[in-house]
Amino acid sequence: MSTRRLRSEDYNDYSSTDVTPEGSPPGGMNGFAHPESYQRFGETNGTTWYQTLIHLLKGNIGTGLLGLPLAVKNAGILLGPLSLVVMGVVAVHCMGILVKCAHHFCYRFQKQFVDYGGAVMYGLESTPSAWLRTHAVWGRRVVGLFLIITQLGFCCVYFVFLADNLKQVISAANGTTNDCNSNRTVAMTPTMDSRLYMLSLLPFVVLLTFIQNLKVLSIFSMLANVAMLGSLVVIYQYIVRDIPDPSDLPLAAAWKTYPLFFGTAIFAFEGIGVVLPLENKMKNPRQFPVILYVGMTIVTILYISLSVLGYLRFRADIQASITLNLPNCWLYQAVKLLFSFGIFFTYAVQFYVPAEIVIPPLVARVSERWGWLVNLLLRVALVSVTCVLAILIPRLDIVISLVGSVSSSALALIFPPLLEIATYYAEGMHPLVIAKDIAISLFGFVGFVVGTYEALVELAAPAAAVVNTTSTMVQ
Tens digit of pLDDT for each residue in 294-318? 999 889 999 999 999 999 999 888 8
C-beta of residue 51 within 8 angstroms of C-beta of residue 219? no
| pLDDT value for 36 | 37
Mean pLDDT taken over the chain:
81
Worst-scoring range by mean pLDDT, 150-159, 270-279, 424-433? 270-279
Q: What is the pTM of this model?
A: 0.78
Give residue 190's pLDDT band: very low, low, confident or very high (50, 70, 90). Answer: low
Average pLDDT over residues 426-432: 88
Q: Answer with the residue of higher pLDDT: 188 or 209.
A: 209
Worst-scoring range by mean pLDDT, 4-13, 246-255, 345-354? 4-13
Worst-scoring range by mean pLDDT, 149-153, 286-290, 464-468? 464-468
**Helix residue ranges, H only, 5-78:** 49-60, 63-75
CA nearest to 79, candidates 211, 265, 333: 265
| pLDDT value for 303 | 92
Give residue 204's pLDDT band: very low, low, confident or very high (50, 70, 90). Answer: very high
Reported as a single tens digit per residue, the pLDDT across 434-447 is 999 999 999 999 99
C-beta of residue 230 within 8 angstroms of C-beta of residue 338? yes
In a 3-state reduction of DSSP, which class is residue 185? Answer: strand
In a 3-state reduction of DSSP, which class is residue 21? Answer: coil
Percent of residues, the chain, with pLDDT higher than 90: 26
Worst-scoring range by mean pLDDT, 53-57, 184-188, 381-385? 184-188
C-beta of residue 469 within 8 angstroms of C-beta of residue 317? no
Kindly tell me if the per-residue pLDDT of 150 is higher than 90.
no
Instruction: Tell me how far apart the alpha carbons of residues 110 and 165 are, in angstroms, rounded to a whole number.
Output: 49
Kindly tell me if the per-residue pLDDT of 37 is higher than 50.
no
Instruction: Tell me how far apart the alpha carbons of residues 75 and 255 are, in angstroms, rounded to a whole number.
Output: 8
Instruction: Give residue 211's identity as a one-letter amino acid code.
Output: I
How remote is the C-alpha of 227 from its chain's centroid?
A: 19
Q: Answer with the residue of higher pLDDT: 93 or 38.
A: 93
Give residue 462's pLDDT band: very low, low, confident or very high (50, 70, 90). Answer: low
Worst-scoring range by mean pLDDT, 36-45, 188-197, 276-285, 426-435? 36-45
Per DSSP (E only), the strands in 24-176 are: 39-41
| pLDDT value for 473 | 39
Kindly tell me if the per-residue pLDDT of 22 is higher than 80.
no
C-beta of residue 85 within 8 angstroms of C-beta of residue 304? yes
Reported as a single tens digit per residue, the pLDDT across 119-144 is 999 999 998 889 999 999 999 999 98
| pLDDT value for 175 | 64
Kindly tell me if the per-residue pLDDT of 45 is higher than 70.
no
Burial class (CB in 10 A: 0-12, 13-18, 19+), 93: middle
Average pLDDT over residues 199-209: 92
Worst-scoring range by mean pLDDT, 95-99, 143-147, 187-191, 215-219? 187-191
Q: Please state the length of the chain.
A: 475
Instruction: Tell me how far apart the alpha carbons of residues 313 and 319 are, in angstroms, rounded to a whole number.
Output: 12
In a 3-state reduction of DSSP, which class is residue 40? Answer: strand
In a 3-state reduction of DSSP, which class is residue 475? Answer: coil
